[in-house]
Structure 1
Amino acid sequence: MKLTVNTFLTLDGVMQGPGGREEDPSGGFEFGGWLVPHYDDDMGRIVDGWFAEADAILLGRTTYQMFQPYWEQVTDPGNAVAAALNSLPKYVVSNTLTDATWNNTTILSGNFLEAIDDLKSGPGRELQVHGSHRLARALHDAGLVDEYRLLIFPLVLGQGKRLFETGAAPSAFTLAGSKTTSAGAAYLTLLPTAFGAGELEVGEFEVRDGQERVRD
């Protein structure tokens, strides 16, 4: 299975608490629900498209415990997100969770990166990560992410959990697709092309004969 990270971001990279005031106030976060005023049908179609490709869902403990009580209530068969989350196999990474009652859930503890690598080797289309800040960071640093799908919204919060923070493994990406929504969000599909400081290509500009150019 291909491992994809699907998430909502602000311009300063914040992914915390997009859907509601009390969704994730940890760390004194003040802007829960920042995404809601920017929701539109374009975004809905993009997100439905994500879940249409999923054969399994991978979540961190905090996101799992936020998602379960909300999405279990959504029984509308026309809601593609709820239908996927409530029925598909779910894997939650936790060393403290002992009981996972959401339908079709398996707890991954201990060496979860090895377990996730094994899942990737199995059959299926996509193993999808949604939210799950610390998990997404660990997967990035381990080089396990095959594709990022980022919806970036036109606002800066100045606080909150970020997808890429200081110390993240240096990486380069190829832009595989892009769109904009009517509400002004930019949707990027990114494929990792280089991973680690030794693989990241750098260069230098110079002035030669009065002209600026890339140094050979």
Structure 2
Amino acid sequence: MRIVITQNMTLDGRIEMLDDWFDPADQDPELVGEMRRQTAGEDVLLLGRQTFEDLRGYWPHRADDTTGVAEALDRADKRVVSATLTDPQWENTTVIGGDPLQAVRELRRQDGRDVVVTGSIHLAHTLIEAALVDEFRMFTHPAWQGRGRSFFPDGFDAPRLRRIDGKVFPHGVVYAAYELAGLAHGDGPGGTALAGLGSEQED
């Protein structure tokens, strides 16, 4: 399976949402359609504890959801990385209490579709630094935050990327997907070339 990080972010690259620039329940129909297309290609949703709890506290209770996100999250195969969580209290959820990098390496060796990480900033940064990310998906919103954590870890020497997909949506959101430059489309980094809801540090 491939490891994919998908994040909502500002024009200055911030993915930690400290201002109100993103409303998950208020998206234009074309953007919702793109999210559904990507969800259809997922086998596993991999999350850090804080992002998992944010999603669990919001989506299952949205009886008025018209995006389809609530239903998709309920049926998704969710894996949450946490050293303290014991009972996830959400169907189809498995807690990864051990080494998350080892768990991700095992997932990458399995056949299947995408393992998607969203939000989960500490986890996402850890996977980037460990060269375990095959694709980077960025939904850039027309907002400037000026503070907060970014898509790539601070001080990280980001590699050259090649855009493999993209679209501009009516309300100003720009979607772009990237893989490492120099790879054939669909190849992974092989652990060498490279080392949603924004959230706090995961445990």
TM class, shorter-length: 0.7 to 0.9
Q: How does 1:126-205 map to 2 (within 5 A)?
A: 126-193=114-181
- Equivalent residue for 1:59, pick from 26, 29, 47: 47
Relative to its length, the structure with more strand (as a share) is 1
RMSD: 2.4
- Residues 83-115 of structure 1, C-alpha deviation per residue, up to 9 Å, x if partnerless? 221112111111121221111111112311011
User: The residue matched to 1:72 in structure 2 has which SS?
Assistant: helix
TM-score (norm 1): 0.77
Query: For the Cα contact (< 8 Å) 1:51–1:81, is it kept in 2?
Result: no
- Structure 1 residues 170 and 66 mapped into 2: Cα distance closer, same or farther (>3 Å)? same
- Equivalent residue for 2:22, pick from 23, 35, 44: 35
Structure 1 unmatched ranges of 5 or more: 18-28, 201-216
Query: For the Cα contact (< 8 Å) 1:16–1:161, is it kept in 2?
Result: yes
**Counterpart of 1:35 in structure 2: which amino acid?**
F
Identity rate, percent: 33
> Who wins on radius of gyration, i.e. which is larger?
1
1:132, distance to aligned residue in structure 2 (A): 0.9
Equivalent position of 2:3 in the other structure:
3
* Matched residue count: 185
TM-score (norm 2): 0.82
Q: Distance in 1 between matches of 2:65 and 2:58?
A: 15
- Structure 1 residues 100 and 136 mapped into 2: Cα distance closer, same or farther (>3 Å)? same
- Structure 1 residues 65 and 154 mapped into 2: Cα distance closer, same or farther (>3 Å)? same
1:79, distance to aligned residue in structure 2 (A): 4.4
**Counterpart of 1:149 in structure 2: which amino acid?**
R
Which structure is richer in relative contact order (CA contacts within 8 A, separation 6 or more)? 2
Q: Distance in 1 between matches of 2:57 and 2:42?
A: 21
User: The residue matched to 2:74 in structure 1 has which SS?
Assistant: helix
Q: Distance in 1 between matches of 2:68 and 2:106?
A: 27
1:123, distance to aligned residue in structure 2 (A): 2.7
Query: For the Cα contact (< 8 Å) 1:55–1:125, is it kept in 2?
Result: yes
1:76, distance to aligned residue in structure 2 (A): 7.3
Equivalent position of 2:200 in the other structure:
none
- Equivalent residue for 1:110, pick from 95, 98, 112: 98
Query: For the Cα contact (< 8 Å) 2:46–2:116, is it kept in 1?
Result: yes
Query: For the Cα contact (< 8 Å) 1:8–1:15, is it kept in 2?
Result: yes
Structure 2 unmatched ranges of 5 or more: 183-188, 195-203
Query: For the Cα contact (< 8 Å) 2:78–2:92, is it kept in 1?
Result: yes
